[in-house]
């Protein structure tokens, strides 16, 4: 009888350990579902009240912009960069992020800016609008609410581009860069605001749509077929060699625009190979790679050290198949949510930098390319010229 309490304690201890083990296993099995559910706003988009709209006449509505956007000096970069950033807001409270969310802003400043804006900074004034981006949760589900959130975000991006063109561009050559969600929005922006305007098409250096699906058979502008070509699209979606799950997910779940609706990609996606500087299915060996970098947390404006020959790449079935980089600097880090956003490194930093500079040089070397006149700074008084009578 004395052993009964002891056996009971042992039994209870074993049961508790078993329960803990089952909970641990369950947590591992359903971890993604549990964390994803935590980001669900749990409100239909139709009844959701979005955050206040940005005012692009105000500096606070831009993550990056020149200190004097209305003017430029002789030594300033010769072109502009309109940059539409990727998902930086996790979700939970909103379908669409407030433009002043501190964690989203920190992710942009620490990760997105140095890694994805960086390749374009040396030759361009950067205009990167804050917009009410669809949350990370909207990227992890194909629910109609998520598509509506992404459609809603496009309204801000289009408004920002309209303001940029009307107030700041003033006839300068420009490049459009969109990354992931921002690339999808930039693809529609090109279709709506550039493709049908001869002057804007003439001054477009290129549109780089990073990790973005664009239908191969119906792009809004010609695809970049040569490294020197300008006014063209350079879209791609990538997966590492052997990662069949991601490659299939990209084919099955990528959304593209059909008029004003986001629909599942049908058919093949257009595939630009950054190592070749062209839409091509040719194999690009690692010796062509001009430089990968992990620039996360690098001081803004500093050019990062580049590691050449890190990856090879080849377009296959609409997906850019990339070899796994050798350096440990190019491995996913951070929280569960951050590992599902754009990574804190750019495997094609040097390739994008070289491509952009080559295309800009080609455009500026064309004697027929219209040169933008330097604007007169606001507040400068202009003296009238004396009139002389000619007999």
Asked, for residue 43, whether it belongs to a domain, the answer is: yes
Number of domain units in the chain:
1
- Output DSSP code: residue 54: P
Per the DSSP assignment, residues forming a β-bridge with 269 are: 215
Residue 389 belongs to some domain of the structure: no
DSSP state, 258?
A: E
The per-residue pLDDT string of the chain (391 residues; one tens digit each, 9 = 90 and over) reads 556 666 666 666 655 555 544 444 444 443 455 445 567 888 899 999 999 999 999 999 999 999 999 988 888 899 999 999 999 999 888 999 999 999 999 999 999 999 999 999 999 999 999 999 999 998 888 889 999 999 999 999 999 999 999 999 999 999 999 999 999 999 999 999 999 999 999 999 999 999 999 999 999 999 999 999 999 999 999 999 999 999 999 999 999 999 899 999 999 999 999 999 999 999 999 999 999 999 999 999 899 999 999 999 999 999 999 999 989 999 888 777 788 889 999 999 999 999 999 999 999 999 999 887 676 555 434 344 343 333 3
CA nearest 181: which of 217, 222, 140? 140
382 lies in a domain?
A: no
Q: What's the domain range around 134?
A: 34-365
* Residue 381 resides in a domain: no
Sheet architecture: strand order including 204-210? 62-64, 124-129, 79-84, 174-179, 204-210, 232-236
Q: Is residue 24 part of a domain?
A: no
Residue 307 in any domain: the answer is yes
pTM of the predicted protein model? 0.87
Q: Is residue 10 part of a domain?
A: no
Classify residue 318 by its DSSP letter.
Answer: T
Give domain status of residue 90, yes or no.
yes
- The rounded radius of gyration (Å) of the Cα atoms in the chain is 25
């Amino acid at each position: 009888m004395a052993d009964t309490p002891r056996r009971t304690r042992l039994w209870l201890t074993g049961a508790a350990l078993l329960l803990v083990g089952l909970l641990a296993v369950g947590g591992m099995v359903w971890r993604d579902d549990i964390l994803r559910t935590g980001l669900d706003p749990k409100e239909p988009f139709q009844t959701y009240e979005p955050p206040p709209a940005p005012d692009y006449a105000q500096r606070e509505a831009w993550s990056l912009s020149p200190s004097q956007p209305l003017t430029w000096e002789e030594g300033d970069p010769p072109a502009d960069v309109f940059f539409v950033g990727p998902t930086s807001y996790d979700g939970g409270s909103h379908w669409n992020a407030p433009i002043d969310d501190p964690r989203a802003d920190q992710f942009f400043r620490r990760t997105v800016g140095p890694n994805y804006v960086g390749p374009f900074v040396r030759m361009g004034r950067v205009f990167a609008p804050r917009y009410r981006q669809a949350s990370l949760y909207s990227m992890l589900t194909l629910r109609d609410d998520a598509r509506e959130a992404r459609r809603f975000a496009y309204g801000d991006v289009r408004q920002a581009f309209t303001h940029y063109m009307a107030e700041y561009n003033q006839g300068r050559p420009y490049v459009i860069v969109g990354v992931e969600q921002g690339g999808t929005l930039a693809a529609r922006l090109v279709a709506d605001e550039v493709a049908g305007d001869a002057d804007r098409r003439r001054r477009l250096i290129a549109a780089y749509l990073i990790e973005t699906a664009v239908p191969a058979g119906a792009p809004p502008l010609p695809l970049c077929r040569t490294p020197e070509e300008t006014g063209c699209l350079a879209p791609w979606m990538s997966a590492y060699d052997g990662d069949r799950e991601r490659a299939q997910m990209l084919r099955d779940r990528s959304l593209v625009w059909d008029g004003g609706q986001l629909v599942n990609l049908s058919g093949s996606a257009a595939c630009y190979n950054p190592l070749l500087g062209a839409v091509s299915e040719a194999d690009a060996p690692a010796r062509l790679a001009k430089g990968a970098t992990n620039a996360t947390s690098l001081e803004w404006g500093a050019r990062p050290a580049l590691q050449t020959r890190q990856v090879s790449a080849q377009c296959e079935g609409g997906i850019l198949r990339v070899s796994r980089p050798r350096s440990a600097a190019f491995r996913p880090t951070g929280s569960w949510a951050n590992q599902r956003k754009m990574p804190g490194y750019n495997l094609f930093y040097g390739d994008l930098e070289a491509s952009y500079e080559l295309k800009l040089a080609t455009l500026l070397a064309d004697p027929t390319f219209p040169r933008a006149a330097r604007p007169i700074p606001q507040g400068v008084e202009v003296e009238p010229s004396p009139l002389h009578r000619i007999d």
